[in-house]
């Protein structure tokens, strides 16, 4: 079992930055691919970013490419999502997810993930 806890959400003005963190409990964190998803009010959850178990493959949704950066620190069992140039349309609950996988690619589909965090709210004001 893996427990994921997100933090770092909050209220920020458009153009600002936030860094989300997701810390995992349990062993073998380095063998997990990790992803970030988000869900805006009244909308379905959508993919934001993901990286594979060793961080050699990182992918982003087109809507965030060039503004968001995902990284991992296996020594701290933590992944990060640095969000710059935030827009009101980035407002959502952001979820961290984990998949036990040593595949070479980063998973994009929700169905690939085994564990989910509780989410952290990000609100971007205009």
User: pLDDT in tens for each of the 126 residues of the chain?
Assistant: 899 999 999 999 999 999 999 999 987 888 999 999 999 999 999 999 999 999 899 999 999 999 999 999 999 999 999 999 999 999 999 999 999 988 889 999 999 999 999 999 999 999
What's the pLDDT at 1?
82
User: Rounded CA gap, 111 and 126, in Å?
Assistant: 33
Distances in whole angstroms, Cα of residue 123 to Cα of each of 11, 25, 39, 43, 64: 5, 27, 12, 15, 15
Query: How confident is the model at residue 9, as a pLDDT?
Result: 97
3-state secondary structure of 74: helix
């Amino acid at each position: 079992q893996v427990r994921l806890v997100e933090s770092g959400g909050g209220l920020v003005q458009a153009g600002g930055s936030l860094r989300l963190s997701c810390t995992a409990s349990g062993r073998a964190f380095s063998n997990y691919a990790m992803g970030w998803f988000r869900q805006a009010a009244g909308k379905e959850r959508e993919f934001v970013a993901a990286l594979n178990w060793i961080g050699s493959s990182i992918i982003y949704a087109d809507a965030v490419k060039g503004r968001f950066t995902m990284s991992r620190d296996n020594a701290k069992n933590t992944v990060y999502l640095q969000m710059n140039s935030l827009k009101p349309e980035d407002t959502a609950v952001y979820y961290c997810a984990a998949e036990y996988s040593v595949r070479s690619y980063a998973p994009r589909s929700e169905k690939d993930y085994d564990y989910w965090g509780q989410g952290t709210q990000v609100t971007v004001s205009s």
